[in-house]
């Protein structure tokens, strides 16, 4: 059975003290009322070591929001996959549309990041998804397939087992506009088919595919009830423990 996961992406929010307080609160509420799914919190680099130290990793895993495309050396301001791993965290988000768009991360750059993350024992939340313009041109399938082919389909099946795919239509991120459960299911099923075509039916069956884009406690149950939607990658609603817990509880 593939893993169900609710993952939070704090983005560039929370100073160190606020982030620690949020992680502590989440750890307390989820210890008291255990989740029925995997939970991951992805934080800015500055929080990682502290958050990884304070959470119970049998309940909450921790992830970074990015890592460098270079192994080590004279790259001022960059944080390598090895450094991320050394904080005690387990995951890294790669391919987020904000990094593709604002920081010009190409499929080749992402491929290098994917390889370094895996070489350092990190699991990857790999984001794909179309823009509004591409959706209106009915290009969502081609876009998702190309993003997989460009950065993760060079992996062996064994390596691919460490990839969680997050389908995030760009037009739904932070906009309050959610894809309908049927719209999301349609493309999730297509993404799973792409994985099956590449790696076979069993790998596709075992691959966790998350939905991301204005997901909240009110729409999570309908989305997560779909057969090919295995949980969510949550931005805005991961910044308050009660909101995030509300989404996690969709699996109860």
Residue 197: partners with Cβ closer than 8 Å, 6 or more residues away: none
Which residue has the closest beta carbon to ligand PEP?
Answer: 235
Output the smallest distance, CB 156 to ligand PEP, in A. 27
Output the smallest distance, CB 202 to ligand PEP, in A. 28
Separation between Cα atoms, residue 133 and residue 170, nearest integer Å: 10
Contact yes or no for 168/213 (Cβ under 8 A) = yes
Q: Which of 47, 90, 96, 130 is catalytic?
A: 96
DSSP 156-225: -HHHHTTEEEEE--GGGTTSS-PPPHHHHHHHHHHHHHHHHHHH-HHHHHH--EEEESS--TTTHHHHHT
Q: Which of 47, 168, 185, 188 is catalytic?
A: 168
Output the smallest distance, CB 99 to ligand PEP, in A. 10
Q: Kindly list the residues in this chain that would bind ligand PEP in the complex (CB under 6 A).
A: 9, 168, 173-174, 212-215, 233-237
The residues that bridge with 5 in the sheet, in sequence order, are 38, 231
Separation between Cα atoms, residue 19 and residue 123, nearest integer Å: 22
Closer residue to ligand PEP, CB minimum distance, 56 or 101: 101
Residue 96 designated active-site: yes
Closer residue to ligand PEP, CB minimum distance, 9 or 87: 9
Output the smallest distance, CB 166 to ligand PEP, in A. 7
Closer residue to ligand PEP, CB minimum distance, 199 or 211: 211
Closer residue to ligand PEP, CB minimum distance, 109 or 237: 237
DSSP 82-133: HHHHHTT--EEEE--HHHHHHS---HHHHHHHHHHHHHTT-EEEEEE---HH
Output the smallest distance, CB 238 to ligand PEP, in A. 7
Contact yes or no for 123/162 (Cβ under 8 A) = yes
Calculate Rg over the CA atoms of the chain.
Answer: 17
Closer residue to ligand PEP, CB minimum distance, 10 or 251: 10
Question: If we measure between CA atoms, which residue out of 82, 73, 76 comes closest to residue 64?
Answer: 82
Residue 188 designated active-site: no
Active site residues: 96, 168
């Amino acid at each position: 059975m593939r893993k169900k996961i609710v993952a939070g992406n704090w983005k560039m929010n929370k100073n160190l003290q606020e982030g620690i307080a949020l992680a502590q609160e989440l750890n307390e509420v989820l210890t008291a009322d255990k989740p029925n799914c995997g939970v991951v919190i992805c934080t800015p680099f500055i929080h990682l070591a502290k958050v990884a130290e304070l959470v119970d990793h049998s309940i909450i895993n921790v992830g970074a929001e990015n890592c460098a495309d270079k192994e080590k050396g004279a790259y001022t301001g960059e944080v390598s996959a090895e450094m991320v791993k050394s904080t005690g965290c387990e995951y890294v988000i790669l391919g987020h549309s904000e990094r593709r768009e604002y920081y010009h991360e190409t499929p080749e750059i992402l491929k290098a990041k994917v390889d370094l993350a895996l070489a350092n024992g990190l699991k990857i939340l790999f984001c794909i998804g179309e823009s509004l313009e591409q959706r209106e041109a009915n290009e969502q399938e081609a876009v998702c397939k190309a993003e997989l082919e460009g950065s993760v389909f060079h992996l062996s099946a064994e390596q691919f087992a460490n990839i969680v795919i997050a389908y995030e239509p760009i037009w739904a991120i932070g906009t309050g506009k959610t894809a309908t459960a049927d719209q999301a299911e349609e493309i999730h099923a297509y993404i799973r088919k792409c994985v099956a075509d590449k790696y076979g039916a069993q790998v596709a069956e075992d691959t966790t595919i998350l939905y991301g884009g204005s997901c909240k406690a009110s729409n999570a149950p309908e989305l997560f009830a779909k057969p090919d939607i295995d949980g969510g990658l949550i931005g805005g609603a991961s910044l308050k423990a009660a909101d995030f817990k509300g989404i996690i509880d969709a699996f109860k």
